Amino acid sequence: MLHTRQLTETCSGVAGRAESKLGDIDAVVLVAGDFERQVARGVDSAVELETMLLTRNPEEIFAAEDIHDWDDWVEFFSKTREPDGRGKGLASSGKLVS
């Protein structure tokens, strides 16, 4: 899994190409199917991600446990608007990381 800083840098790079002035970036992570087992086994990256999700630190990161959760997050963020009514837009790294 990507560490928080790497995830933020990836998101910033993708979004930065589309818009030079970024407001906030929210990230949804599609977790591995065996994520809970990885946490139970003490896999560092899984424990780190679980801690971030449970403490909401950073507060802009969310988990999708399966493709249905992912689709729900995409729908939610596709309806999110800027104060002036513009859509915020979506970006994807185009790859799944487990």
pLDDT in tens, 9-38: 555 444 444 444 456 678 888 888 899 999
pLDDT score for 9 = 56
Q: Is the pTM of this model over 0.85?
A: no
Helices H / strands E in the chain, number of each: 4, 2
Cα Rg of the chain (Å, integer): 14
Tokens of 61: 């990161």
Q: How would residue 39 be classed by pLDDT, with cut points 50, 70 and 90?
A: very high
Average pLDDT over residues 35-55: 91
pLDDT above 70: residue 58: yes
Q: Which phi and psi angles does 78 have, rounded to 5°?
A: -70, -20
Q: How far apart are CA 80 and CA 97, in angstroms?
A: 25
